[in-house]
A and B are shown apart, each in its own frame.
Chain A
């Protein structure tokens, strides 16, 4: 009995952390190229509604995930045009993207508010899933959970083991040097930004297709912002993104379990619901106290516009 509760808490933690991993890893790539896109919340919202609407209309979850990805990518393309081609302020443009995405998704999603999608089953990996306690949480999971791990592996390899990854980091550290040795800085930043948007779209689609299987206005509930905070927390290192995401997943799940457990605890539910947001602030404080770590790891040109004066 005890172990099955532990197992289901672990399971829920991993599920709750998964969208954060996907979105944060996408943003990590964009930020490594020097682009700070604060529009994650808007891109996730658009991914969530696009995924939901497409799955609802076609009956295919996979088309939904693809649609969510496309919606996120499209939003980030818009962002990229404004900040990369037109050199708009990245902070303000990201905010605009968030406001637009949250509003537009609420607008598009109105007719779908009362609809429910069937729950998507988990994918069981034979043998491994039979391991007690950790078998179910790790090896009998939603397919996008496996995707998040594969994404981590791919990004780790890309950033630290491949030449294009090196170029990407060079663009983020010193766009003018990268430009002077012939790399197309703006094009690379476009690709990194759009990749970030596509991942944010998948993260959003995960919420509306796998996590809750329904659409509610405002359902992203700050996860886009938490994902951005997560990248800072991880000091731009992929492995720490995973750790941080599960930590946050744990906080989200813990408050749900306490609320749902019927335990006689005299804490208003609103205080428990506020925990993930407070945890984000605390984690940010802890990480930014150590300025050297942040400064050493943050891409030098993060948030700075660059224009090759050719």
Chain B
């Protein structure tokens, strides 16, 4: 007797929702094993990772705060991913968006009024879009692989921000620390409630999810991109412009990543440093996949991913584990998800002995 995979007559709807759940369970098991392997109490590790961060209201607000950039970036990326436009460089676009927004904040240091924040939002989006426009242009003009170009630009963006905070953007009164001056109040996103760090960007992110949903499921362009994702040739025969889809996919990812960068510098950071991004650009890719490129799913997947971030911080604090354990969980989650997705189109069958 042997197990083999057999193609289902029809893709299973149930499995396409169950598969993320299976992946999460497998990730938890993997996590427990990892803790046990490290000689830590797995139950204790589980509590520190998944329960402690949510034990009070402040913890929940931190969760929503961390989920904000993930929602923004993931919904932007999902637009492109649906049409197989692989923007892998959101991390770089986020950094450039943060730089652009910071430039506005530092320029208007003496200024009061809402226009500062509005300009920062616009600058953040444009910054991210500019960075995403490079792979989009090279793809449409020279057919250069957008995965590699957008990824290389992540490193370039990191050097760019490093140069800026060591040079032109460095706080003149900052004792030579590589960081900008703290922003004025007019350049900071208003908090939603006192005593927490949760700010207006969370509302923007929810708005972006709704806009993303409408675009994906209620607009013609969204429909075209969906078709192109499923069947490239069908889209071509129907006369849908592949170039236009590449531009839309890339720029929406760039704009949202740039906005997320703005939300970071103008929110929890309040200044720009070399560490604008906390790997959000890459984590958001996982979010988009776990969410099945669906904005509703992105909301929940972002919360899960944010919990992994907070859990990692807690594990560092209470269990003396490196915070990079978050990335381990994130990578496991995506890998398990991609693996269990096989059951959407296939099912397990006992292979019977065949008499020859």
Contact = CB atoms under 8 A, between A and B. Distances in A.
B38 to A, nearest CB: 9
A103 B156 contact: no
A95 interface: yes
A309 B148 contact: no
Interface string A32-57: 00000010001000000000000000
A217 B327 CA distance: 13
Interface in B147-168: 147-149, 151-153, 155-156, 159-160, 162-163, 166-167
> How big is chain A's contact interface, by range?
35 or more
Contact of A91 (B86, B156, B331): B86
Nearest to A286: B142
Nearest to A269: B163
Given A82-B335, A96-B335, A99-B282, A107 B152 contact: no
Interface stretch (B106-114, B208-216, B263-271, B337-345): B337-345
Contacts of A277: 152-153, 155-156
Nearest to A288: B144
B152 A280 contact: yes
Nearest to B4: A310
Contact of A81 (B134, B327, B334, B339): B339
A103 B328 contact: yes
B328 A225 contact: no
Interface in B241-256: none
A258 to B, nearest CB: 15
B148 A274 contact: no
A89 B292 CA distance: 13
B102 interface: no
Interface in B30-87: 86
Given A88-B339, A99-B282, A291-B143, A284 B148 contact: yes
B332 interface: yes
A91 B147 contact: yes
B180 interface: no
Nearest to A268: B163
A273 interface: yes
A95 B88 contact: yes
A93 B338 contact: yes
Interface of B: 7, 86, 88, 134, 138, 142-145, 147-149, 151-153, 155-156, 159-160, 162-163, 166-167, 282, 285-286, 289, 321-322, 324-328, 330-332, 334-335, 338-342, 345-346
Complex A-B, nearest 5 residue pairs according to Cβ-Cβ distance, in ascending order: A103-B327, A100-B331, A88-B338, A106-B324, A96-B334
